[in-house]
């Protein structure tokens, strides 16, 4: 089977590198390693942090994108996940850094390299319309609201959002039923059960599902613990959690997720095209897979 190179639209780091702390050289090192894994492009994702650190890391990631060479997965922009989310669904995010959803607060970190923003739409003051005018994708995440009419997508469906109830509306239910909403899905075998994936794939149009890793810095490294989003994270070989057991993110990458889904008979090639279509990404190259969803070869058209 041949598919396009994969895209990582939601990735906090891997190979021991944390995008909230990384240097330019470390971002580039991740980019090179990702391409070898079959990832053609990615959106380094910044978790909740201080305004000063977010601004610094945006500049670092943008500089790395300007120094890339042909042997790198393309740095396509930044996904900002945090500071504009709901404390009720904060996960491991540090709420001391949260800000009101206002244009003035966004302008404190605004940069043309921010392409995706995860936020809580129910707390919006005047930010969503501003982001959409700027061409930034707005995704509902770490939230409880059911009105997603102004959103382009939903961040890691079911996780860190108000779940499905048979008596009232919720974020997850709206994201599942609204055919205009793209939905990120972490199909790593930890974040979502096979049953909920089956329900999602039966309910959601196949062209609106986005595979993401939500990978942590601990992914594909020798680390068994690390500090992420101001919290100590522990990896037991299966999942990464905070001390209280809150799942912090994934320890897989999208190529491995494709393999997991493929071996369960749940993968559809359209899932890969969806990310390209949603984010307006040009063709980057191809992957050849064997019948067990192992990568045979990677070909790229990367130019910088």
Active-site residues, by number, are 214
Report the DSSP pairing between strands 137-140 and 114-119. Answer: parallel
DSSP structural state of residue 79: E
**Residues sharing a CB contact under 8 Å with residue 177, sequence separation 6 or more, in sequence order:** 203
**Residues sharing a CB contact under 8 Å with residue 272, sequence separation 6 or more, in sequence order:** 3, 4, 6, 7, 211, 258
CA 119 to chain CA mean position, Å: 13
Element of type H or E holding 289 = strand 285-289
Helices and strands of the chain, counted as H and E runs: 8, 18
H-type helices in 67-114, by residue range?
103-106
Tokens read off for 174: 């709206």
């Amino acid at each position: 089977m041949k598919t396009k190179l994969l895209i990582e639209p939601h990735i906090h780091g891997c190979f021991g590198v944390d995008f909230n702390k990384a240097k330019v050289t470390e971002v580039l090192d991740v980019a090179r390693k990702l391409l070898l894994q079959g990832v053609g492009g990615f959106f380094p994702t910044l978790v909740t942090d201080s305004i000063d650190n977010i601004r610094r890391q945006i500049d670092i990631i943008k500089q790395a994108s300007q120094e890339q060479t042909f042997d790198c997965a393309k740095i396509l922009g930044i996904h900002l996940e945090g500071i504009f989310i709901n404390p009720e669904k904060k996960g491991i995010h540090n709420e001391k850094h949260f800000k009101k959803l206002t244009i003035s607060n966004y302008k404190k970190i605004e940069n043309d390299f921010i392409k995706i923003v995860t936020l809580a739409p129910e707390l919006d003051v005047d930010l969503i319309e501003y982001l959409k005018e700027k061409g930034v994708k707005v995704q509902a995440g770490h939230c409880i609201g059911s009105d997603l009419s102004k959103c382009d997508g939903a961040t890691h469906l079911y996780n860190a959002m108000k779940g499905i109830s048979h008596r009232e509306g919720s974020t997850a239910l709206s994201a599942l039923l609204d055919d205009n909403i793209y939905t990120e899905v972490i199909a790593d075998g930890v974040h979502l059960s096979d049953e909920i994936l089956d329900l999602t794939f039966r309910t959601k149009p196949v062209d609106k599902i986005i595979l993401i890793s939500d990978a942590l810095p601990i992914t594909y490294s020798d680390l068994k613990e690390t500090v992420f989003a101001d919290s100590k994270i522990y990896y037991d070989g299966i999942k990464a959690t905070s001390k209280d057991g809150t799942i912090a993110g994934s320890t897989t990458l999208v190529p491995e997720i494709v393999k997991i889904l493929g071996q369960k008979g749940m993968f559809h090639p359209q899932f890969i095209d969806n990310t390209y279509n949603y984010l307006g990404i040009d063709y980057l190259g191809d992957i050849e897979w064997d019948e067990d969803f192992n990568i045979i070869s990677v070909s790229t058209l990367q130019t910088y």
